[in-house]
Structure 1
Amino acid sequence: MRGLRSLIVGLLSAFFSTAFGLYFPPDVEQLPTITAQTSGSFIALPFDENFLFKCEAKGNPRPTYRWTKDGMDFDLHKDSQLIKEESSGSFLIPKDMAKYEGKYRCYASNKLGTAISEESELVVPMTPKFPKKKIEPAVVTEGDSVVLECNPPQGIPPSQLYWMTNDLQHIEQNERVTMGLNGNLYFSNTLMSDSHDDYSCFASFSKIRTIVQKPRMVLRVKPSQGDDGFKSVQKRKPSILVPSSHSTTYLKKGEALELECIAEGLPTPVVEFIKMWENLPNRTHIKNYGKVLTIPNVTEQDEGKYMCKAKNDLGEDEHYFQVVVEEPPSWQEEPVKSQLVKIGSEIHIKCSARGKPQPTIIWKRNGQPLDDFPSTNYKVLDDRIIILRAQQRDTAVYQCEASNRHGTLLFNANVLVMNHPPLILTRDYLEYSTMLGKSVIMDCEVFSSPPATINWRREDPEGSLDGERYSLLKNGSLQIHKVEMEDMGQYKCLAKNSEGTMSLTIELFIKDSTRIVEPPQDTKVKRGSMAKLECQVECDPTLRRELEILWMKDGMNILSNFSERYFTDDGTLQIVSVSHSDQGKYTCVVRTSLDQDTASAYITVLDIPDPPVQLTLSERKNRSVRLHWAAASDHNSPITEFIIQYEENNWDPENWKELLRVAGSQISAPLTLYGHINYQFRVIAVNAIGRSLPSMPSERYKTPPCAPDRNPENIKIEGRLPHQMDIIWE
């Protein structure tokens, strides 16, 4: 019932979750759960020093461990060579691992139940060897087919097979002579030149760095003779040697398909692969001189009927392959890891798996077959167990194993049947703080069985929890939206079920907001000078000690990412010897544990312009030329004028003189010139900060000779010596 002074809700225990398991307080008993394990198949290499079987679990009481090997009890304490970890069920097998080959499983148990690990296998292979026995020579008539068998020993994959002679020359392979996937050497037909007494099959095992050789084989090819005594080789139509019979190929989705088709005949047959009723996939590869079809990473679309056809001039032979693509088991939906239920409840444990073939489901309880526990309150419905009127004795770890020929999935489902009074996990008399207008969540996390009813009420001062501003969350927490000053005070959370009651008191404080009262201002500053930004802030007095002021430049923390030219002190940012790279957006961030505020300003760096660029000449005449240029960066201060200078390399070289000034809006100017002078020009840009450096000089332009513009003026004649006269003019 919801009243004026309380807000009540019925919900599951605060930590109850059917999807993600349970959290148990430390003083509540809990079933074992495997937390770390070794799974899969492992091959012990000759140079491996040891192998670790890992098994770690949690539970209350603390779990104890035992192992099985190949389904039989395996007592670690009876083998002094094993190195056991005291804090877990893990153990280390020493270097001599041959006697430890087998399939292992770990059992973690306490008084409530037993969890089991996935089965893991240790394979300790023997060094591969070919049998040492005499091989009778293969004797055939020229043109006949023959097979030299390799029969390689089993070893650690990957392996590589090849045929060589005694002098380590590879046997040449082609459409006529081919090594099959099984290592055998197939001759579709024989020639006299095939006769050798040193055919040898080699098997290389890279992981153990081993190469083994089969005893050499002898092939003798006799000449073919007809009834008249002359050489006569009988031609024949193809006959498929491999595969020898129709078969179905089963693959796991994602594996590579390999179909092999080797035929004998004379002339040498040509092999072709076809997929019945449709085209071969685009990713199909034909290898081994056309005799092997491969399709990587197969999918359901690659299923179907394939055919290989071997043909020559005399006929053809066919073989059909049925390809089935299957999948290992996978969960249709993730099973529930843990369930906490009250006594008398109905429990559903679901284990729904898919795969091809459809997985077989096996149920266990505490690692033992479910049939070993006769009970009248169990119902097994293929992919689920239903426990009716559950009692404490039904508390256990239930295992589901879903298997097909491609693998096994194991799942441990912890089912705890118990009644427990509410246990509030949130600390009592916890203090919460928030700002006016913000939202706050006050926790009341509860463990209980059956589920507790949660009741929140206002204590001091008393008040209503009615209205849209108050929400009760699924985990029992109370959320207040758009907090008002009247919300400050004490609150009580009460948790109640059939087993008891527990309460929690919480206090809520309302703080003044943190805010920037004097934000930084946009600033223009000359390069090389100092820039300063101010950021003054007010916050709640109780939060002053934790107040933090940060400066960001273009979204990056200044103190972490920029140079030592940046200094901050109590809301003031100083940048000494400002450069162009300091231009950008600066943000002041002020924050406490409860809120934050930000304000931004832009620093513009002013500087003299960059020199003009791209000087070119046009409209070339005897006494004039037009100069063009392009303005470069004005560095945030508009260009007011351009100064055009000239230099000539005959009368006064390397001495630049001003020729003309034009407005900053112009990008070309006509220049009046004198005759018979070899000019070059440069341009200087001017803004309020100063002059730019001169541009690069233009190409030279030499004006032709010409008559003077006018006669000399202001002629003066002076005589200072008896035999000398000085004449001066303009």
Structure 2
Amino acid sequence: SFSWTRNGKFFNVAKDPKVSMRRRSGTLVIDFHSGGRPDDYEGEYQCFARNDYGTALSSKIHLQVSKSPLWPKEKVDVIEVDEGAPLSLQCNPPPGLPEPVIFWMSSSMEPIPQDKRVSQGHNGDLYFSNVLAQDALTDYSCNARFHFTHTIQQKNPYTLKVKTKKPHNETSLGYSPAMYRARGITETTPSFMYPYGTSSSQMVLRGVDLLLECIASGVPAPDIMWYKKGGELPVGKTKLENFNKALRISNVSEEDSGEYFCLASNKMGSIRHTISVRVKAAPYWLDEPENLILAPGEDGRLVCRANGNPKPSIQWLVNGEPIETSPPNPSREVAGDTIVFRDTQIGSSAVYQCNASNEHGYLLANAFVSVLDVSPRMLGPRNQLIKVIQNNRTRLDCPFFGSPIPTLRWFKNGQGNTLDGGNYKAHENGSLEMFMARKEDQGIYTCVATNILGKAEAQVRLEVKDPTRIVRGPEDQVVKRGTTPRLHCHVKHDPTLRLTVTWLKDDAPLYLGSRMKKEEDGLTIFGVAEKDQGDYTCVASTELDKDSAKAYLTVLALSYLAANRLRDLSKERPDRPRDLELTDLAERSVRLTWIPGDDNNSPITDYIVQFEEDRFQPGIWHNHSRYPGNINSAVLSLSPYVNYQFRVIAVNDVGSSVPSLPSERYQTNGARPEINPTGVQGAGTQKNNMEITWTVSSSWMPFGMEL
């Protein structure tokens, strides 16, 4: 059930026709559509949620009505000022909630131009470092815009009368020293208009923005520079505003405390104002109390640690009541920011509140302490099936509950040791993470949760699938109009997964018209036209993964003579194979797959597979095997204790291609020698000795580790 307090007293929702509470949520709704005064409902509200196990509290909610009060009517006299003198026009807007946005305009609704001589301060006042005759050409009205009420209030405008020694001349030289001299204006050293004097102090709360301001008078208008005593301005969080008259430091922390000073200078001199900044802090969490589930007889603790400046005080409540006045509980001991529970008993469940407060604010957190004796229960679905692509990371989930907290163990195929370590990592939440799924990892995995009251188990079946790969994709082609090009897309995939092959043209789905035929391993375009030119992408996908390959089709509208030249192109060596991949990794073999390069008008007849090892003869490539030109995948036999990498060379009637880029390396384990040394000979050099010699085999022959 839900209830509310207003200003610390019970708020009877049922007695007020304008107030209702939403079902099942406790949300309070105040309806003003039928009239009423919103001001009557201002105050501090707090929600209480209760059930048989305890009471939880919300933070206090302050309800205030946004207002846009009228500006008091006042008579504004003409302001007389000497040319070159400083001037500030006060705004003093009526208080609003939230505070209004201030801007200055003329009575004809033209914005007042601002620069380093004339600018608006953070308090809303308009400051003139020095007044010029031209400033009297307009009037000045302060405007306050109230956000929530969408209203603008305007103050009666100020009118200036500038006393000058020379008449105003529209062609005068801006703010230059020559202009001031020409108009007989005396140049003066800077003086601070805001803040006053040589020093001031400012307090700011941690986490908010700090705005420091220095506005100075002088002829000519001073320049403002900012510094921090004993160090640099905070890096990455400072910003100069309002023509350098304001320094904003975002998201302040305690390290931003210290003395800052602004330097106002012009050709006549400089002055300095020091601002001492103190950073205070409303409470913030170090350790927020968390829900606690205990079995009868168990010990536990609630911790509520908060920091702030000044340091916050900690108050504990139970079900919304101060813990000091709550019913006694012999298993509970309060020690400052910690509650210690010893030998807890059934029936002592409750909701505890921690209130951390100082003069700048407060934090409130609820924590449910539940004393239960529950045998393990599995919370997830039974007999899950997880599919994963070979060599990918996967996770088997096993959510559980129990009190005392059960221990969880994983087994494979119902036998063996607990799975944790190596390729597996068991997490506290019950999940089993597998860093690299292999074919031999397929099977039934059982998670078993156990506590003193019993056990529960659940099973997960893991299937490891072959990856989807395009082993021969489309190739760039240049064809003449009217011919029938074919774009290859030969896919290797796991046979137990449903394969879908789609085509894109210029990265958009391809419309298969009557001239196009999609086949199992490619796309044929009959009577190709110029509009068929573009990028073609083959996308092969299953429910678990996908692969894609792209090629560009160029369509030429050729003359008869050009067509003959195209047909008579000279044959060339093939392009090198690409995208080498190692799969089916085993102790003494590996499958190498590659994508063929262009045959350049002469069919590929052979592929030569070469290898290099980095232990005995690094950088030297040796022939491993040779395969027919119509395949692009082969199982390679390997020797022990060799760190292999492979490359492939394509061969046609013209010659051999450039070798492909090397594959990734694959290290085989060591093994006992499989053949005896050769060329064994024995001879005596003296009557009492025998010298034995033999031929040492190459390191990559089947010998394994060096002898």
TM-score by length of 2: 0.55
1:98–1:569 Cα change, 3 Å: farther
Q: Which residue of 2 aligns with 1:415?
A: 369
Q: Which residue of 2 aligns with 1:93?
A: 30
1:236 deviates by: 13
1:577–1:348 Cα change, 3 Å: farther
1:336–1:426 Cα change, 3 Å: same
1:245–1:92 Cα change, 3 Å: farther
Query: Contact (CA 8 Å) 1:161, 1:204: kept in 2 or not?
Result: yes
Distance 1:522 1:220 in 2: 83
Q: Which residue of 1 aligns with 2:299?
A: 346
Q: Which residue of 2 aligns with 1:52?
A: none
Amino acid across the alignment from 1:425: L
Query: Contact (CA 8 Å) 1:242, 1:260: kept in 2 or not?
Result: yes
**Number of residue pairs the alignment of both structures matches:** 529
Instruction: Give the counterpart of 1:205 among 141, 145, 150.
Output: 145
1:54-69 aligned within 5 A:
64-69=1-6
1:325 deviates by: 3.8
Amino acid across the alignment from 1:347: G
Distance 2:340 2:410 in 1: 36
Are residues 1:84 and 2:21 paired?
yes
Mark the structure with the bigger radius of gyration: 1
Distance 1:525 1:174 in 2: 64
1:303–1:464 Cα change, 3 Å: closer
Q: Secondary structure at the match of 1:371?
A: helix
Query: Contact (CA 8 Å) 1:247, 1:322: kept in 2 or not?
Result: yes
Are residues 1:389 and 2:330 paired?
no
1:500 deviates by: 3.3
1:320-719 aligned within 5 A:
320-326=274-280, 329-332=283-286, 335=288, 337-373=290-326, 374-403=328-357, 407-427=361-381, 445-453=399-407, 473-474=426-427, 482=438, 495-502=449-456, 526-527=479-480, 528=482, 529=484, 531=486, 533=488, 543=496, 547-551=498-502, 560=509, 564=513, 567-568=517-518, 573-578=523-528, 589=540, 591=542, 638=569
Distance 1:569 1:192 in 2: 86
Distance 1:397 1:452 in 2: 23
Distance 1:415 1:247 in 2: 50
Distance 2:158 2:552 in 1: 88
Distance 1:522 1:104 in 2: 71
Instruction: Give the counterpart of 1:121 among 50, 59, 62.
Output: 62
1:420 deviates by: 0.3
Distance 2:194 2:539 in 1: 82
CA shift digits 1:181-205 (9 cap, x unpaired): 545688999999999xx99974422
1:579–1:306 Cα change, 3 Å: same
CA shift digits 1:386-422 (9 cap, x unpaired): 3333334442333334445665444333332211012
Instruction: Give the counterpart of 1:251 among 180, 184, 204.
Output: 204
Distance 2:126 2:364 in 1: 44
CA shift digits 1:586-632 (9 cap, x unpaired): 657474x6x779797979768577999xxxxxxxxxxxxxxxxxx9x
CA shift digits 1:463-486 (9 cap, x unpaired): 65689999684455779975569x
Amino acid across the alignment from 1:111: D
Q: Which has the higher contact order (CA 8 A, sep 6+)?
A: 1
1:310 deviates by: 8.5
Q: Which residue of 2 aligns with 1:623?
A: none
Distance 2:536 2:115 in 1: 72
CA shift digits 1:302-323 (9 cap, x unpaired): 5432456899999999754212
Distance 1:174 1:554 in 2: 56
Q: Secondary structure at the match of 2:95?
A: coil
Distance 1:472 1:184 in 2: 65
Q: Secondary structure at the match of 2:40?
A: helix
Q: CA RMSD in A?
A: 6.3
Query: Contact (CA 8 Å) 1:142, 1:192: kept in 2 or not?
Result: yes
Query: Contact (CA 8 Å) 1:531, 1:578: kept in 2 or not?
Result: no
Q: Which residue of 2 aligns with 1:75?
A: 12
Query: Contact (CA 8 Å) 2:289, 2:365: kept in 1 or not?
Result: no
Q: Which residue of 2 aligns with 1:104?
A: 45
Distance 1:138 1:606 in 2: 81
Moved more, 521-530 or 493-502: 521-530
Amino acid across the alignment from 1:367: G
Q: Secondary structure at the match of 2:209?
A: coil
Unaligned runs of 5+ in 2: 164-187, 572-707
Query: Contact (CA 8 Å) 1:340, 1:417: kept in 2 or not?
Result: yes
1:279 deviates by: 8.1
Moved more, 367-376 or 92-101: 367-376
Identity of aligned residues (%): 25
Unaligned runs of 5+ in 1: 1-63, 223-234, 613-630, 641-730
Query: Contact (CA 8 Å) 1:609, 1:635: kept in 2 or not?
Result: no
Amino acid across the alignment from 1:69: R
Distance 1:247 1:147 in 2: 20
1:440 deviates by: 9.1
1:399–1:636 Cα change, 3 Å: farther
1:385 deviates by: 3.3
Distance 2:471 2:127 in 1: 91
Distance 1:603 1:177 in 2: 63
1:343–1:236 Cα change, 3 Å: same
TM-score by length of 1: 0.53
Query: Contact (CA 8 Å) 2:536, 2:553: kept in 1 or not?
Result: no
Amino acid across the alignment from 2:3: R
Query: Contact (CA 8 Å) 2:282, 2:362: kept in 1 or not?
Result: yes
